[in-house]
Amino acid sequence: MTEATQPVPQRSDPPKTVVLEGLHKSFGEQHVLRGIDLSIAQGELVAIVGNSGSGKTVLLHCIIAHIKPESGRALVADVTQPGLPLYDVAALDDDALDRLRLHWAIVFQRNALFTGTVYDNIALGPHELRGDTREDILPRAREALKAVGLDPDQVLDRARDDRSGGMAKRVAIARALVLDPAMIFYDEPTAGLDPEHSALVHDLIRSTHERPTSERITRTSVVVTHDTGLLARLQPRVVMIHEGRVFFDGAFEEFARSDSAPIRPYFEAMAAVHACVRESRVPVRAGRRR
Ligand SMILES: Nc1ncnc2c1ncn2[C@@H]1O[C@H](COP(=O)(O)OP(=O)(O)OP(=O)(O)O)[C@@H](O)[C@H]1O
Ligand SMILES: [Mg+2]
């Protein structure tokens, strides 16, 4: 094991599950992340907000090791080990990363569904990562589809439908839920949903967050969003990214009340931005690092 792949012990209580230290990421001349420092404790529900193009998806992709930062570190805890040691995800080999990934689920901004039926999409993770059989997966898939407001009898064997953004988003959420993850990352989970299904997803994010995993691990949830309804309902810790750094980090109530120049106009425009959030340009294939 090289020095970079050695775990970083921690003594915080509650322990941290994500620690970002001085993250920088550029694309050509565009310096997107300019020194992001952020810690998320186990059991926290954190919303990451910021203008379109501010780097929220890039930040999330640094945490899940799809993007390698130029400098700084994204440390993520192994929630199965005593003391939750932290690992620099960019320094891990694929096997070590897969061991951490077993406990994560990601709802991608562009859903990242592949050709195949709804069942195929939902079953891929549990089958490939954990070797679960169809008999194990089917009841969980049915339960997860019901939780997102889809009728399993209607949709399980249907090809996933790209034309309906709302359905694809809900299948993407169901796919994350069946993994029963200790850490769940949502990138714009309610984009494209009508108000009724958005409210259902808000409640689902909360209920999933509050329920420990089947291995009794306390969940951590990170939600990238422009949805003020979601913030108002879940009242999470809010982290705002602005000009490549963490500009605000505090309670939703304080965020909503803030008169600060970048926050006020952003907050007031949030609902409109949510209605037309553009698609992320970050590649979505699992395991690909850039
Ligand atoms: N693969 C890439 N190649 C080049 N530029 C990229 C790439 N991925 C992201 N960017 C650029 O980095 C900036 C931040 O992108 P990112 O997708 O993180 O924004 P965002 O905050 O998630 O925006 P939105 O709210 O619209 O989803 C944007 O200007 C984007 O064009
Ligand atoms: Mg984005």
Omega within 30 of 0 (cis) for the link into 85: no
Residue 281 falls inside a structural domain = no
Burial of 4 (0-12, 13-18, 19+ CB in 10 A): exposed
| The total number of structural domains that make up the chain | 1
Please indicate, yes or no, if residue 23 is contained in any of the structural domains.
no
Give the ligand with the smallest distance to the CA of 55. Answer: 1
pLDDT in tens, 82-139: 999 999 999 999 999 999 999 999 998 877 777 788 999 999 888 888 889 999 999 9
Residue 254's nearest CA partner among 242, 268, 236, 271 is 236
Non-local (6+) Cβ contacts of 229 within 8 A are 190, 195, 198, 199, 202, 271
- Which among 171, 16, 197, 203 is positioned nearest to 107, based on CA atoms? 171
* Planar angle of CA 210, 20, 241, nearest 5 degrees: 80
Region for 235 from its dihedrals, namely left if φ exceeds 0, alpha if ψ lies in -120 to 50, beta otherwise: left
Q: Is residue 280 in contact with ligand 1, taking CB distance under 6 Å?
A: yes
CATH number for position 236: 3.40.50.300
> Which residue's CA is the nearest one to ligand 1's atom 16?
55
Q: Is residue 2 part of a domain?
A: no
pLDDT in tens, 13-63: 899 999 999 999 999 999 999 999 999 999 999 999 999 999 999 999 999
Around ion ligand 2, which residues have CB less than 5 A away? Answer: 57, 109, 280
Q: Is 50 in the pocket of ligand 1 (CB under 6 A)?
A: yes
Domain of 183 in residue numbering reads as 44-65+93-275
pTM: 0.91
Asked whether residue 138 is assigned to any structural domain, the reply reads yes
